[in-house]
């Protein structure tokens, strides 16, 4: 999942004067985090869950937290949502005793947390944690009641959000609002689409356009990560098959020679070493098994050690195809997520190199 604003500028469309992305040919990326906050608030906040059944009343209160990222990419009419969210919703409940017996009303509060709502798990119900601040008998009774009636409700609302993102979220809404102008007098009040004028471009712009066309269908991933370790130690981890097996929990065979071959992630990725400078540089050819035949990408990892015990890694992964052999248009997002979550984050976690 490429982060908003970090994509290859060749594929992120700059705003045109007429606001048009013709046929959605280029990447059009829309930040959806604030839209998600508003959408989920409308779905989840201040809703009655139980209204008097068994002398119990429960309602949701407000969206206490929504953190993470959410965006939608649209290219050539294809909608590619991306989101990783942590959501916390507050709720309150009360138990009314027998009024004839003069018992008082007991109230408790709690939270519902979705630790990980993500596009990669869109077909599955996300994990839901229901907590209550008062762990006494009344609190337990209300918590159990929320789990029974409230949990299905909040899951259904989150599913509505997932479906809305799959359809384009705010990007779909924006796309449906076409720019219109009134026809000159004599044509009535019929609104028509504004004509797209042909812009005059200089020769330099034409050259750039031709270069872009040659790379059509591919993208470059760039990342910069910082680690609390020596550069040579991190280099060794990435080039040692036993350590690779350790932090990825998958099979690996890695040659340490230039021209040598490697296979990682249980054979899902294969490639060749192009250039190796211990503690300084790794250049490799990478190929994923799901890519169309004959395609290879280039991985370039530069190690910098600005101070002792601190290493900065600069990754450039070029010629990553936008679609796999099956027509799935999530290759770039999945590849970037793999670098971030399955390689860099796990190295920090397993070897204690976090900063």
Give the per-residue pLDDT at 160: 92
Give the per-residue pLDDT at 162: 93
Name the helix (H) or strand (E) containing 318. strand 310-321
Quote the CA–CA distance of 267 and 110 in Å, as a whole number: 46
Give the per-residue pLDDT at 86: 94
Give the per-residue pLDDT at 75: 65
Domain architecture of the chain: domains with CATH: 28-174 (3.15.10.20), 218-351 (3.30.530.20)
Give the per-residue pLDDT at 148: 93
Give the per-residue pLDDT at 207: 46
Quote the CA–CA distance of 50 and 56 in Å, as a whole number: 7
Closest CA to 234 of 124, 123, 310, 134: 310
| Residue whose tokens read 């890519």 | 291
Give the per-residue pLDDT at 77: 67
- Say what the pTM is: 0.46
Backbone angles phi, psi at 243, to 5 degrees: -70, -35
pLDDT in tens, the chain (355 residues): 444 444 444 444 444 444 444 444 445 678 899 999 999 999 999 999 998 888 899 999 999 999 989 888 876 667 888 899 999 999 999 988 765 544 557 889 999 999 999 988 888 888 999 999 988 888 999 999 999 999 999 999 999 999 999 888 887 655 544 434 444 444 444 444 444 444 444 554 444 444 444 468 899 999 999 999 999 999 999 999 999 999 998 999 999 999 999 999 999 999 999 999 999 999 999 999 889 888 999 999 999 999 988 999 999 999 999 998 888 888 999 999 999 999 999 999 888 887 6
| Residues 23 and 127 sit within 8 Å (Cβ to Cβ) | no
Give the per-residue pLDDT at 104: 54
Summarize pLDDT for 221-256 with one digit per residue, the tens.
999 999 999 999 999 999 999 999 999 989 999 999
Helix (H, G, I), strand (E, B) or coil at 143: helix
Closest CA to 238 of 322, 40, 227: 227
Side-chain half-sphere CA neighbours of 326 within 13 A: 6
**Alpha-carbon torsion (348, 121, 9, 288), positive or negative:** positive
Name the helix (H) or strand (E) containing 173. helix 169-176
């Amino acid at each position: 999942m490429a982060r908003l604003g970090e994509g290859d500028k060749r594929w992120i469309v700059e705003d045109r004067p007429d606001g048009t992305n013709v046929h959605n040919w280029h990447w059009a990326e829309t930040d959806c985090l604030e839209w998600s906050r508003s959408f989920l608030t409308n779905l989840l906040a201040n809703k009655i869950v139980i209204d008097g059944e068994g002398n119990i009343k429960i309602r949701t209160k407000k969206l206490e937290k929504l953190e993470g990222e959410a965006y939608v990419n649209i290219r050539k009419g294809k909608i590619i949502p991306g989101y990783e969210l942590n959501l916390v919703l507050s709720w309150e409940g009360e138990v009314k005793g027998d009024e004839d017996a003069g018992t008082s009303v007991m109230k408790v509060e709690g939270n519902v947390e979705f630790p990980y709502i993500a596009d990669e798990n869109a077909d599955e119900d996300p994990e839901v944690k229901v907590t209550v601040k008062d762990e006494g008998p009344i609190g337990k009774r209300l918590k159990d009641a929320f789990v029974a009636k409230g949990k299905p409700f909040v899951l259904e609302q989150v599913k509505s959000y997932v479906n809305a993102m799959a359809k384009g979220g705010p990007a779909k809404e924006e796309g449906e609002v076409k720019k219109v102008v009134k026809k000159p007098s004599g044509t009535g009040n019929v609104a028509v689409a504004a004509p797209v004028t042909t812009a005059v471009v200089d020769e330099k712009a034409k050259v750039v356009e031709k270069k872009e066309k040659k790379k059509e269908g591919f993208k470059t991933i760039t990342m910069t990560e910082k680690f609390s370790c020596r550069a040579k130690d991190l280099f060794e981890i990435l080039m040692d098959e036993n350590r690779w097996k350790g932090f990825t929990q998958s099979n690996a065979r890695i040659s340490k020679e230039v021209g040598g071959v490697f296979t990682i992630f249980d054979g899902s990725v294969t490639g060749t070493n192009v250039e190796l400078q211990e503690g300084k540089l790794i250049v490799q050819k990478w190929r994923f098994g799901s890519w169309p035949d004959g395609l290879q990408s280039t991985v370039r990892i530069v190690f910098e050690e600005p101070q002792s015990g601190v290493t900065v890694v600069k990754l450039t992964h070029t010629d990553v195809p936008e679609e796999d052999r099956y027509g799935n248009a999530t290759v770039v997002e999945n590849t970037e997520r793999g670098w971030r979550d399955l390689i860099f984050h796990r190295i920090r976690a397993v070897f204690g190199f976090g900063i």
